[in-house]
Amino acid sequence: SGTGGASLERPWGQGHWNNNYGYRFHKGQGLTLDASKCFKKSESYSLIMDLRLDSGQAYARGLFKVKGWQANGLYVTKKGSLTLLASRLACQEEIRSNVNYKIGLTRSKSSVVSLYLNGYLCGSGKVKTNDGFTMNPKEVVFLRGNSDNAASGYIKSIRLWKSALQQSQMMKKCGCKLPRAAGKCSKGMITYSPKYAKYSASSTYGGRKMGRSYNSRPRLNAQSGWVSGHYHDQYLQIDIGQNRTISGIVSQGHSDWNYWTTTFTVKVSEDGSKWKQIECGRIFSGNKDRNTMVRNMFADPVYGRYVRLYPKTWSGRPSLRAGVTLCEKKCSEARLDFQMDGFISKTGGPMLTTPWGEGRFIDPKGEYDSSISGTVLEYSHVKDARCRKKCEKRPDCVAYTARQGGHRGCYLMGDVRQLYDNSG
């Protein structure tokens, strides 16, 4: 220990050290500790373990227990839930393989036991079983459960305190800062998927502006989707227009290719410069196919204007169509005003729903890729900038493209129905 006291023992075999991830332990190679010279039997204590578990472990994995808890303790279940066995405490977020986590456990003198993931409080309550999970410091076991319930992976640090850290202290120890909390939605919720001008990204495949090609259309149910230009540390950003209560995320994959984001994290900002993670970096489960909409709700609503989605794993390339779940506003002026650039009324109130299937919104005078079909209104051999101006001057032009059937040029397109539906 960096603060003195007893050392960790390795009664079930020695692992080895890794410069990046810490101590490498295999299944069954748990650690023990006799902390009785530092702690007496403790009614209140805190624990933080910085670890990374291996994949391919379809069984409950023991992380922490002490003598007197019998077969119980802190485990990751078969389904990936962090739980305190013999209690009802469990975290909603799945513990994923090959991902670094700071896993926390506290017990107060009033028998309140709390679970933390990366500093985020994900479970708390009074526990009566196992003597309320008081800690006997004489025999503490890490990374090993009963019989075959042993984990394997890497552990970077283990920290113990003879006191129950407060929630703010646990967040600070784990390096987490949360967005400003907001109240629950009192009226209902709406899905906000704005015009392309309100979207931005770290990069776009091909470098095209939002809404201009099949790699840069991130609106929900749009033709195609956003595809990142790079693979790592990428994000898709949505500007809500003003600070509002944000309750969750809705996502889809790319409509034409087998590209979708399978897991992602979310950050929120009120000013576009200072960003804070949702639930201390919670990893949300994303999409499994091209078009199914997946709705992820936050454990607690937050306040902000800008939302960023960071793909962590994906099929093909990082790709998204996404919207934000907001609280419904009160109707103003006792009227509803839907301008059909989305399903939200300009005057607040409930949103339109699509129980019989959803169509698509067209970005007026937008540039589209060569895969579109429709009525060609005019052709000329000019560059993109002039092509767009020509489209803007024609009331019947809904889009333009620089290529048709392998032939390059400026094509002004009409007939919105044919533009997206060749079946008629």
Q: Which residue has the tokens 């005019």?
A: 378
Please tell me the distance from the alpha carbon of residue 123 to that of residue 88, in angstroms, as a whole number.
9
CB count, 10 Å around CB of 82? 25
- What b/e string do you get for 116-144 counting C-beta neighbours within 10 Å, with b at 16 or more? bbbbbbbbeeebeebebbbbbbbebbbbb
What pLDDT does 422 receive? 36
Q: What is the pLDDT of residue 185?
A: 86
Most confident of 201-210, 285-294, 376-385: 285-294
The residue that leads in pLDDT, 384 or 34, is 34
Where does 64-193 have alpha helices with state H?
129-133, 167-174
- What's the pLDDT tens digit per position in 26-75? 988 899 999 988 887 778 999 999 999 998 666 788 999 998 888 889 99
Nearest Cα neighbor of 154 from 246, 301, 6, 16 is 16
Token pair in block for residue 279: 């639930």
Give percent of the chain above pLDDT 90.
59
Residue 395 has pLDDT above 90, yes or no: no
Say if residue 200's pLDDT is above 60. Answer: yes
Give residue-wise pLDDT tens across range 77-123: 988 999 998 888 999 899 999 999 999 999 999 999 999 999 999 99
Q: For residue 145, what pLDDT is reported?
A: 82
Q: What is the pLDDT of residue 214?
A: 76
pLDDT at position 402 is 67
Q: What is the mean pLDDT of residues 115-143?
A: 92
| Over residues 298-327, mean pLDDT | 97
Q: What letters, b where the CB count within 10 A reaches 16 and e where it falls short, cover 160-169? A: bbeebbeeee
Number of other residues whose CB lies within 10 A of the CB of residue 266: 25
The pTM of the whole model exceeds 0.75? yes
What integer pLDDT is reported at residue 132 of this predicted model?
86
